[in-house]
Structure 1
Amino acid sequence: LDRPRLSLQETHGGRCFSSFAAAALGERFDALLDPAEARVVAVGRGFLIANKDLSVHHSHLPRALEAMLTERLEAGDARAACPENAVIGVDDAFYVRFRDGHTEWHGPISFSCAVAENPHQLASVAFGESGGWVIVCDDGTIKFDNVPSELAKVLLASQKMGSKQISEVSMGANTQWFVRFNDNSWTGHLVSPELNDVVNFFQASAGDVQGCSL
């Protein structure tokens, strides 16, 4: 299946926009997604949707994540099986934090070491091509490896005193990336006109963009 182009969720307006390169995957995603109920939306080669009623929908996930979700769902504890944060990358990379506080991940060695050594909760995780990754901690600190040079400059600049802090990072194919700051402004590289229009529309209508997955 082709990698989805983007999924973007707005918090305050209760609306959600999504666009997929793979028509069959997109149809199922659109059928399962209820923008008023969804609390976590992750897209990669497949997708994962976690709703506020603790229901979980998913398709074509990395095998380890699929097995983990299946085991938790079969155990009958809906809260334990429902993610509160999930990111799906390429090459079976993923990060998931469940509502019971348990976290699991799979990715490059440098990513695994950074997550294991980090004492703070992760606010945002992004996986890119060729083993690239970014983590944004809830205290504002950022760690990254093997990301496009222009993105690295933005990440480093955000760590300087007085700079806007980053809330979220997403990376896509061909050095594409998107960064959202804590004041809801954003910047990016090779961002499609479609994504640009949707983000600007949400912000113009007083929406607060919660998440974007390239």
Structure 2
Amino acid sequence: MTQMMIDWYAPVGDELVAGVDEVGRGPLCGAVVTAAVILDPLRPIEGLNDSKKLTAARREALFPIIQERALAWCIARAEVEEIDQLNILHATMLAMQRAVAGLSVRPDRVLVDGNRCPILPMPSEPVIKGDSRVPAIAAASILAKVSRDREMQELELLYPGYGIAQHKGYPTPVHLSALRELGATAIHRRSFSPVRDALDSAGLGSGPGFDQIQVGAVRRHAVDTSL
């Protein structure tokens, strides 16, 4: 798909529209990662689509193109502790707020993938299947997906034996088996029932590296719109 996926959500006149998406609500470990993107209508990006419909190689290829051509972008996150304290829904909303707040160019309107929006200081609207309908949301989904997948590769080196690089933290049979055998680590979400079950099981408890770690940081970028 090209940047002309839709027309009824397109910016009106000089309106700046940010697309927002998240990756990582379902996994048993790691942060939930969000991104916000304001695309430049004068610098279209071919091939934008829902990140889940693209190959890993295509996502990686689009990642720097989006960063270079967008008017503004920001990748943000909510950590495991925040997920456990707030629940995954509220932590996701918090991470989305951080992504929008991190944009160096303030959007006039925000379109969020899904059926609900975080509280934002500008008009916002949820878009069902927005990552395959709205170019800016598709771009945000790619930034969030690539960022989180790279982080999972890093965490695989710190926590071997769980298969994190392959399943990205999702509750696959391999991951669930490793939880039963090795226990939960510092990056596992204790508010998720499979992790609680592993912690409560006899002979299982905290796995390696139980001290909380953080990988990655908020990244932001903007191009001067006065040019």
Q: Same fold (TM over 0.5)?
A: no
The higher-RCO structure (CA 8 Å, 6+ apart) is 2
Report the TM range for the smaller structure's normalisation: under 0.3
**TM-score in terms of structure 2 length:** 0.26
Structure having the higher strand fraction is 1
Structure having the higher helix fraction is 2
